[in-house]
Amino acid sequence: MLLVENVTVVSPPHVLPARDVWIEGERISAITPHGQQKRTPTRRLNGHGRFLSPGWLELQLNGGFGKDFTEEPISIWEVAARLPEMGITAFLPTVITAPAAVAEQARAVLAQGAPAGWRGAVPLGLHIEGPFLNPKRKGAHPPAYLRPPDPAWVRNWTPEGQVRLVTLAPELPGALDLVRALRRQGVAVSMGHTEATLAEAEAGFKAGITYGTHLFNAMRGLHHREPGAVGALLTHPEIAVGLIVDGIHVHPAAVALAWRCKTPETVTLVTDACAGLGMPQGRYRLGAMEIVVQEDRATLPDGTLAGSILRPAVALRNLMEFTGCTVAEAVTTLTAAPARVLGLPRPRVAVGEPANLTLFALDGTVAATIIGGQVVWENAG
């Protein structure tokens, strides 16, 4: 039995200070006021008053710790083993624009399952970002591999086939038919790297798009006579959006604007992290492209932003600073909101719920991560 003692439980919308959380097997067995212990645990983890929330779910992560999923799909399990350092308990490995064989390799890596004895953040399936993107908004995607929507590519893309989310540009010829096909197959579809007008974006929503990939970045911006993709995403309350809240990809004022237009249930904090996450400054890969990792950002050699080196705990801290939101609202963007995008149950810290938990502070640090009732990472500092 694991006892996580003296924590402030954040199970949105509830915040419960001075609690002890008891875990038996893979589930939470009791939550009691701190100090009212009636049993002897086999292990104690002292939270020192820090926040304990449902485990964090990341929808867009390209790699980390020197590895890039598009270049090396086999590295997914290696990176996943270290993601609990970031408070992440589950995630979507993201494969960007590349030849069709790359996505197939990544699907095979997940289908084969985890190596023996492995522990880490659970890959829930792939996020395939591209190749059906608008060349005018390619960002750091290699232009040589961009292509028009092709039904043959997605025929086997299903959650059972290890694909959970696909990003495409809805204005491309044939894109709406592809959206409908993917939705019939149970895959969530996102709009991103797009020049869509308001009308084209709304047609995408009608076809089945339910998400917007890294809002503001690599999409037609907001104009008062043509609101474009940004305007469509901000004015449709049912559509969720991802936000990279590092203060670089999106200005704090734009983050605050988006927050006022959406709800915590429809904003997901994403890192769009690249191979440079958790690594020193230097040169790394993002698919076919070389990227340069500096102290606070990752770019192509020409300065184009190429993913990030953002940690979720820092994104949460920044969101609270930029918007004035509560800790419960911020936690929602890392838990319930991404779960909603994928059609998963709402994560909670409650008796009988899975013990997938993140222990963190508001200074942008993670103290411990629990997955399946086991402490898989603990900050020794």
Active-site positions? 272
Tokens representing 108? 């095979």
Q: How far apart are CA 321 and CA 137, in angstroms?
A: 30
Place of tokens 């059906």: 132
Within a 10 A sphere around the Cβ of 156, how many other Cβ atoms? 14
DSSP 250-304: S-HHHHHHHHHHS-GGGEEE---B-TTTTS-SEEEEETTEEEEE-SS-EE-TTS-
Q: How far apart are CA 3 and CA 46, in angstroms?
A: 8
Crossing angle (nearest 10°) for helices 198-207 and 175-184: 30
In sequence order, which residues have a C-beta less than 8 Å from that of residue 170 and are 6 or more positions away? 176, 179, 191, 194, 196, 200, 201, 203, 204, 207, 209
Please report, for residues 222, 242, 256, the alpha-carbon distance to residue 234 in angstroms, rounded to integers and kept in the order given: 10, 12, 12
Q: How far apart are CA 275 and CA 128, in angstroms?
A: 17
C-alpha R_g of the chain: 20
**Is residue 91 within 8 Å of 58, Cβ to Cβ?**
yes
